[in-house]
Amino acid sequence: MIVLYRTFVLIGLLVLLSAQRVLRREDYDTTEQPEIKSPDWMVYLEPDRSLADLSIPGSHLSTAVSGGSPNQRQSWSLYRQYEAGIRYVDIRCRHHQNQLYVYQGRGSTRRTLDDIMRETIRFLNAYPSETILLRLRREQVPVYNRETMGETVKRLFFNYPSYRIWSSTRVPAVHEARGKIVILQDFYGPHQVGLHYRYLTIEDSGNVRNQHAFNWKWERVRHHLYAAQQGDKDTMYLTHTAGTGPGVIPYAAASRLNRRVWDFMKQWEDRQNRWGIIAMDFPGAQLVKLIIDSNF
């Protein structure tokens, strides 16, 4: 009887954990489809406005859509993220044998940067008013290469129309960036392929191993959002709201932090604000829309 009781308790706990993971709220979503879509919201922006002067919803570890609780950071595919209104994506590649393989942490996603480019350009072909900011970060140690990562990226770009890629080191205006992928280069080397990621003003602390660290993380996020709101309009701000730590699963941290972001931004929803880029784990479609609406 004791063994049977323990079995029922274990099953109950597993069901409860599953219910917590598959959840849709306005600020947090672990389902496969966004509740609402905003695929062409940038069409309403003033054409001369700098991208640095915008509020831009983004995703953190954008291709980490599988792998289970310890590794997964998103539940929407990349294209569905774009349809929901996400305009900043975080792509990490290992440079191996003159190819760029997309990684999430230590594991390969079995996709290449070429796959990401094709999917993104397919979206831009459908919605030419939009812009995708793509952080391109080197992941893992590069091995067996005859060229630098910058050379490999540039060689890849030759396969695509030049009007689809903004590779200048200058932050473009909206009308200059329409229909383009804006590269944010997060790797070192002599070959420049876009804006320097490290030139952005960034909040990227992510260790939330306990309640004290969680509160500390939220204060960092809140202060950085205020800094973006009040700071130089020519400076691009990026706030990562994601967190994890020993014993803290990413979806659990996102559930709490996304709620804080939602409550904070609801206080400002009746006025125009500049929040910069906000990169999130498991964002809800209404939170994405709330960030978008702050531009207008």
Residue 245 CA to residue 62 CA, distance in Å, equals 19
- Dmax (CA) for the chain in angstroms is 72
With tokens 């952005």, the residue in question is 200
In the numeric block, the tokens 């480019």 are attached to: 117
Helices (H), the chain: 2-21, 78-84, 113-126, 149-157, 174-177, 211-230, 250-266, 285-293
Residue given tokens 């509160």 in the structure block: 215
Whether 141 and 103 have beta carbons less than 8 Å apart is answered as no
Burial of 148 (0-12, 13-18, 19+ CB in 10 A): middle
| Residue 4, C-beta contacts closer than 8 angstroms, at least 6 positions apart | none
Query: What is the second-level CATH architecture of the domain 2-293?
Result: Alpha-Beta Barrel (3.20)
At a CB cut-off of 8 Å and minimum separation 6, what does 284 contact?
A: 24, 25, 26, 27, 28, 29, 35, 258, 262
Residue-by-residue pLDDT tens, the chain, 296 positions: 554 444 443 434 333 344 346 899 999 999 999 999 999 999 999 999 999 999 999 999 999 998 777 889 999 999 999 999 999 999 999 999 999 999 987 788 889 999 999 999 999 999 999 999 999 999 999 999 999 999 999 999 999 999 999 989 999 999 999 999 999 999 998 888 999 999 999 999 988 988 889 999 999 999 999 999 999 999 999 999 999 888 889 999 999 999 999 999 999 998 999 999 999 999 999 999 999 999 99
> How far apart are the C-alpha atoms of 294 and 292, rounded to whole Å?
5
- Nearest one of 278, 247, 249, 284 to 23, comparing CA atoms: 284
Q: Are 223 and 207 in contact (CB under 8 A)?
A: no
